[in-house]
Structure 1
Amino acid sequence: MKLLDTLHRWTGGLIGLVLALLGLSGTILLHKGLWIGVPGAGDAQRQDLATVAAATEKLMALPGDPQGIIYATPRLGLHQLRFGEDAGLYANQSGEVALRWGSQWERPELWLFDFHHHLFAGDSGEWVIGIAGLCGLFFVVSGIILWWRTRRTFQLRLWPKRMSRPAIVMHHRDLGIVVAPLLLLSIVTGTMMIFRPFALGVVAPFGPVAETAKALDLPKYKGGPLADRPDFAAMLAEARRRYPAAEFRILSLPRKPGDPISLRMRQQAEWLPNGRTTIWFDAATGKVLGAHDALAMPPGAQAFNKAYPLHSAKVGGLALQILMTMSGLSLTLLGSLALWSFWFRRPKPAKRPVKKTLLAST
C-alpha cells in the first residue's frame, strides 16, 4: 500500500498540471455556443435541402480555395468554412459571411480546441494527452483504493479548509471519491479517442475486436481530378435521397488529386454530433463512389462512436452537460492542488539532532 501511495502522489505531482489544463479547457469548450459571440450563432438550425444547397454553392464559390464546410448545428447556428493555413470564416445559413479569420489564434474556440486535443503540438501532443489520460486513469483507481483506509474521516468540502498540505490532501481525497465516476467517464472516453488499442479493449465486450477494428477503418476510394465547378446541389440531393432523415454535417474536398469529395451525415439514431454515415463522390463527375451507413456497423464500432458524444456532452441534454462540467472543474481543482501540495507544500525533512562532542580538558 505504501508503494501505491507513493506512485499515486508522484503521478499527481508530475501529470497534475496537464490534467488540470485539460479539465479547464474542456469545460470551457462544453459551453462554446454560449460565448462564441458571432451574429447568427443562436439561429435555429435549418436542414431543408434547398437552403443547405444554396448556401453550399454560394460558400464554396468564394475565393481562397475553400476546403470544406462544417454545417450549422442545433447548438451553433453558423456554417464554418475552412481554408488552408488555419484560415476560415463563419457564415449564416443563408450563406452570408459573418466573420473571417486568418489564423486560429484569432478565435479562442479554435485555439482552445487545438490545445485540448493536441496541446498545440499535433500528433506529438496527442500522444502526451493519451499518456496523461492513462496516468489519470491510474490516478483515479489508485485514489479509490487509498481512500478506503481513511473512509471514516470523510468530509465533503468544495475547497480545502486551509491551504496547508494536510488540509489539501484531505480535501483531495474526499472530493476525489465523490467525483470519481465522472472522472472515469471523462478520462476513459477521452483516452479512447487517442489510443485505438485502448479503445478496442474498452468496447471488446460489445463484439469481436477484429471485427470492430475492421469496421472503424473506412474504405478508401479514388476518382478523377476535382472539377472546376462541382455540382454540390446534386450531391446533396443524392445524399438526401439515400438518407431522407439524416442531417448534413461535413462536406470535404479532396486533399490530393484522385481523392473523392466526402459528405458526412448524421442519422437520427447516431449519437456522434457529426455522424459517421458517409457518402463519397467522384471529384470529377460527382457520381457516387460508395456509401457507409453508420447504423449498419457492428456493435463494437457503434459503441466506440459513442465515446466522443459522451466525452463532450453532445447527448444527454442539460443533465449530462452539468455532470461533465462538474467533472472538468473537479479535474482542474484536483490536478492543480495536487501539483501545489506536491511541489510547494511538501513536508520539510526532519532535522537530525546534532550530537555535541564534549572535549576533555587536559
Structure 2
Amino acid sequence: MPTLRLLHRWAGGLVGLFLAVLGLSGALLVHKDDFLRATLPHAADPQVQDAASIAAAAEKIFAGPDAPRSIILASERMGLHRLNYGDANRGAYADQSGEIVASWTSKWERPEVWLFDLHHHLLTGDAGELAAGIMALVGLGFVVTGVILWWPARRLFALRAWPANMSRNAVVRQHRDLGVVTAPLLFVSMLTGVMMTLPAVEDLLLAPFTSPAAMSAAVKPPSEKGGPLAADLDVDALLASARARYPDGELRIISLPAKPGGLISLRLRQQGEWLPNGRTMFWFDPADGRLVASRDAQAMPLGLRIANAEYPIHAAKVGGLPYRLVMSVSGLTLALLGSLAVWTFWAGPKIQKRKRRAPVAKAA
C-alpha cells in the first residue's frame, strides 16, 4: 500500500495539470452548441430536414468561389451548417439557406475551435492527441488506485466540494473523498477518451466482441473509382436516394471527393444511432450521381457499434441536458482534482514545513 500511495502521489504531481486541462476544456465543450446558439445569428433556427431545401443550400455553398470540402448539416440543437475546407485552421458557418454567417482562417478566431483543439490535440496536432490519450490512460489508473487507497480510510469519509483549508492533509482528504464519489463518472469519461485516441487499446477491449481485422474490413470505403465532378451535379437526387432507403433517417454530412478518382460521400443518422452524425453511409460517382455503395450502421459488427457509442457517451451527445450536466461535473471534478494534486505535491510540503518551523515565543 505505501508503494501504491507513493506512485499515485508522484504520478498526480507530474501529470495532474494536464488532466485538469482536459477536464476543464471537456466540461466547456459539452455546452458548445448552447454557446453558439447564444452568439451566432440563426444558430437557434429550427432544423430543416427537407431534402430539396438542404440540396438547394448545399448547391449554393459548393458553387461559391471558395467551395468547402464538406458540409456538416444543421442539427436539432445547432441551426447552422458547418463548412470544412480540408484545413484544420479554416472553416465557416452558414445558415440553412446557404448564406455564410461566420468564417475563420485561424483556429484562434473561434473560441470553440481552439478549445476543441486543446482538448483533443493539446494544440500540438497528432502528437498531442496521442499524449492526451496516454494522459487519459494514466487517469484511469488514478481512478482505480484512488479507490483502493480510499478503502482503508473509508470511516473518515466526509464529502466536500472544496477542502476545509489549504493544508496538505485537508486537501488530500477532500481529494480522496470527492474522487471516490465521482469515480464512476471519471472512469467513463477517461475510458471513452482512451478508446477514441489509442486504437491499440480500443482493439484490445473490443476484440472479445469483434476481431480488429473484421472491424477494419467493415469500415473500408468502396474501392471503385469515381469520375470528374460534374458541374451540374444534382445534389437533390443524391439526398433523395438516401432518404428513400431510410425515410426516417437524418441527413448529416455531404462530402466532395478529396482527390481525383474519389467518391462523393453522404452520412445519415438512423433513429437508433447515438453518434450525432451517424455512420450510415452512401457513396456516389461524382460524374453522374450514380449510387456506388452504401453501408447500414445498424448492421455493422457488434464491436463497431460499441465503438460508435464512445464519442456520444464521452461528449454527452445523448441523454439531453441531465447527462450534459453530469459530464460537466465529471470534467470540473477532474480539473479540481488534477490541479490540487499538483499544488499539494509541489507546494504542500513546503507549507507544512514552514508551519512546523514557526518560531516559538520566548518566555518573558
TM-score of Structure 1 vs Structure 2, range by shorter chain: over 0.9
1:212-263: CA deviation from partner (whole Å, max 9, x where unpaired): 4433444444212333343222211211122221111111112111111111
Secondary structure, in 3 states, of the residue corresponding to 2:197? coil
How far apart in 1 are the matches of 2:176 and 2:217? 42
Give the RMSD, CA atoms, in angstroms: 1.8
How far apart in 2 are the matches of 1:169 and 1:316? 33
Does the CA-based 8 Å contact 2:82-2:91 persist in structure 1? yes
How far apart in 1 are the matches of 2:189 and 2:225? 38
Corresponding residue for residue 108 of structure 1 = 111
1:156 is aligned to 2:159: yes
Comparing 202-211 with 44-53, greater Cα deviation is found at 202-211
1:52 is aligned to 2:20: no
Q: For 1:187, which of 174, 178, 190 is the aligned residue?
A: 190
Within a 5 Å distance, the mapping from 1:5-84 to structure 2 comes to: 5-36=5-36, 37-84=39-86
Does the CA-based 8 Å contact 2:90-2:106 persist in structure 1? yes
How far apart in 1 are the matches of 2:52 and 2:289? 18
Corresponding residue for residue 362 of structure 2 = none
Once the two structures are TM-superposed, the CA of residue 350 in structure 1 deviates from its matched residue by 7.9
1:279–1:144 distance in 2 versus 1, CA, 3 Å = same
1:256 is aligned to 2:259: yes
1:270 is aligned to 2:254: no
Does the CA-based 8 Å contact 1:104-1:110 persist in structure 2? yes
Once the two structures are TM-superposed, the CA of residue 283 in structure 1 deviates from its matched residue by 2.1
Does the CA-based 8 Å contact 2:71-2:81 persist in structure 1? yes
How far apart in 1 are the matches of 2:142 and 2:244? 49
TM-score between both structures, scaled by the size of structure 1: 0.92
Corresponding residue for residue 137 of structure 2 = 134
Q: For 1:318, which of 302, 318, 321 is the aligned residue?
A: 321
1:229–1:342 distance in 2 versus 1, CA, 3 Å = farther
- The aligned length equals 351
- Give unpaired runs (5+ residues) of structure 2: 355-364
Does the CA-based 8 Å contact 1:200-1:213 persist in structure 2? no
How far apart in 2 are the matches of 1:232 and 1:292? 19
- Give unpaired runs (5+ residues) of structure 1: 352-362
Does the CA-based 8 Å contact 1:221-1:280 persist in structure 2? no
Within a 5 Å distance, the mapping from 1:164-313 to structure 2 comes to: 164-313=167-316
1:67–1:177 distance in 2 versus 1, CA, 3 Å = same
How far apart in 1 are the matches of 2:125 and 2:304? 25
Does the CA-based 8 Å contact 1:87-1:103 persist in structure 2? yes
Identity %: 54
How far apart in 1 are the matches of 2:261 and 2:236? 21
